[in-house]
Each structure stands twice: as structure tokens, then as C-alpha cells.
Amino acid sequence: MSADIKVPTLGESVASATIARWIKKVGEAVAADEPIVELETDKVTVEVNAPEAGVIAEIAAEEGAEVQPGDLLGRVDANGAAVTPKKEAAEVDAPKTGVNAQQEAPGPVARPGVGALPAAAKMMAEKNVNPAEVTGTAKDGRISKGDVLAFVNKPAAAPAAPAAKAPRAADVREERVKMTRLRKTIANRLKEAQNTAAMLTTFNEVDMSAVMGLRASYRDTFEKKHKGIRLGFNGFFVKAVCAALAEFPAVNAEIDGDEIVYKNFVNMGIAVGGANGLVVPVIRDAETKSIAEIEAEIAGFAKRAKEGTLKLDELSGGSFSITNGGVYGSLMSTPIINPPQSGILGMHKIQDRPVVVDGKIEIRPMMYLALSYDHRIVDGREAVSFLVRVKESIEDPRRLLLAI
């Protein structure tokens, strides 16, 4: 009896995927719910698990093929037997006889890997290593992490001498790598935003002294009370933005045809760096959550983004976004809105600068803020006033507690 392996539902607004890698090959044994193939969508990488235990009987769609939900990927034979890899030529010598034949026990034989252990598979994906080129020495010829390290670190083979009549024309200093679906989608969406929205950016600067002092005073107590959750700056900015959006709802709205859709909630997108590029997971109903809850969700997003395990429903439905180029050292930038959203806040590097306070020059930790917005729906007065409210809440966090 065989069971079909099909493309699962890929989530909101995701219509297709590309087969990134077959983890299992035809003839290999699999356990129920064991990952057997990776699909790459325009948002995240998805693992498809075996529907039941058995043997991979058929692969219906090869790596690189584009598939849609419900398409057949392959089949698992519940009654099949795993295929035993053929012996290498070195093993098929004339049979030994006499005492030596009785005393010699067969040792492990390195051969091209027929599968990879999880840690090895992850490392090969990160280092763009073709599994077919790696010799597996683990049980049943599977590739171990050590095998991958040995492959990556082995000395490069000496290049063959070029033929006298065939000079090389290509520049060996160049390398061509096919764009991933995620990278292509990021490029298309950013260009779509520039082509569709009447996008402008307004700037302000914020004195971080109050938030930094509050954080320094309560960081240890906060982390202890909330079981390891660290108190960062993101929680303050999310709360400040939610308060400003309540006052200026157009910045949290979107255009749908000839209608403006106003949101009575804030689904806050937080841009984080992932294994395959920038992703924007969403904190749902952020206006109802505490700073501790917000910091916990952001920490979870960052961890899963690096591991490539974010779920599709975590990446959809945002109504406003925040991006922090300051973690990479950016002093000022003009972020691009994430359609169909109408606004995005850009945070930047905190830098000590001389500012005038009560008629005196003082050195304060300052951050430039940037709000990019769709001028079709957000007026300049609203955009500037929104950014001023965010600035005021950060410079005096008591305003957040008093909702003023």
C-alpha cells in the first residue's frame, strides 16, 4: 500500500513553491512524520513530512520544479523494503580463503552519502554544498557533520593545465548563483512599492536617555521576573508606535481599490534577518500586549528566522512595520513600505551627539527615526505628527503608562 506525498497548504497569499531539496531518495526508509523534502516559498522554507512509515517509492517532482498546493511530490510504500546500496568496486574483490578470511571483519567503508544526518543537512544547506559530492562515513553511508567539514576544508585540487588552443574566456573571479524565490519576491515587492505607492519619508531624532536609563535600572529585575526575556528597545518602540497609530489611524490603514480600509487593531511587522534573507514576522494585536510579551515574541521570531523555521502564518497579515537598521550600524535610511501597508518606521544607530537642552549644549544618546509613508492615504501633517508622537513617547516613557 502506498501513500501520496502532496504539497500542503502554503498559507495566506502563497500560491506556489519550489522544490529546494529532497532530503530522502528513492529506496530510502522513512519514519512517519520524518522530513523528506524541503519546499521554498517566497516567504519561508517549508518541510514536508512522510505521511506514514515506509520506503520512498517514487519522486514525482524533481528539485527546482515549481509546485502548487495539492500537487503530487512522490509516494511512500508502506510495505516496501529499503534498497541496499551497491558495494563499491574496491569491495568486490576475489573471495578470501583460509585463516585470513575467518579473522578479517569488514570495516566501515566510505561511500557517496545516501542521506544525511540532520546537523549535516543543515550545514550543507548553509554552505551550499551538493550532497552528491560528499562521501558519507556514518551508518548506512549517511553523511555526518564531520564528513561535511572534511569536504569543505579539503585542499582545492590543482587546476588542470588549459589546452593550448582553447584559452579560457570566462572571468574565474565571478560566480553566478541562482536567486532564491525569497530573494526574487523581496526584489519584486520592493519594486512594486516604489511603482505603486506615492512614497515619501519624513525624519526626526529622538533622545534615548530616558529609555536607556529605565532599561539600565530594571534590566536585571525584568529578566528575572520574566524568566530570561531580555529588556530591549523594541518593546518601547512597538508600544510607542501603537499609541501613535491610535491617534493617526491613516498610517495603519491600506488602500483596497477605491476604498480605504482602517484597522481597529495593530498587527506589527518586525523585520528580522533570516537564513535566506530579510523576513517580517507579525506580532498580532500588538496594542493589547505588554512590553514583556512583545520582547518574548520578537526573541522567538529572531531565533526561528535564523533556523529557517518560521511558519507561514507568522509572516502574513501585518498592518504596519518596524525595521532597525541600527543593529547593522546604519545612521540614517529611507525604508521602503511593505505593500499593502501604508507606513514603516525605521530605527537607526544610537550615537552620542551634542544637542541643546534648556539652552545648554549636552552630549546625549540620539537616534534618527524615519517614517516612510504612502502619500496617497497619509497626509504630510499626519506623518510628521505621528513621528513626533513616537518621539515624545520614547523621550518620556511615562506617557505610555498614562496614555497621553
- Known catalytic residue at 171: no
Contact between residue 27 and residue 56 where contact means Cβ atoms under 8 Å apart: yes
H or E stretch covering 216: helix 209-225
Set of cell numbers at residue 183: 530573494
Beta bridge partners of 56: 76
Q: Are strands 268-270 and 320-324 parallel, antiparallel or unpaired?
A: parallel
Rounded (5°) CA angle 229-297-203: 100
Rounded distance, CA 10 to CA 48, Å? 11
- Which contacts of 215-219 are long-range, i.e. CB under 8 A and separated by 24 or more positions? none
Q: Which of 93, 226, 375, 396 is catalytic?
A: 375
Q: Which residues 6+ apart lie within 8 Å of 97 measured at CB?
A: none
Residue 312: which of 281, 341, 278 has the closest Cα? 281
DSSP label at 328?
G
Residue 251: which of 239, 235, 262 has the closest Cα? 262
Q: Which residues 6+ apart lie within 8 Å of 387 measured at CB?
A: 202, 203, 204, 244, 345, 369, 371
Contact between residue 141 and residue 85 where contact means Cβ atoms under 8 Å apart: yes
- Known catalytic residue at 226: no
Q: Which of 93, 285, 379, 396 is catalytic?
A: 379
Task: Please list the active-site residues.
Answer: 375, 379
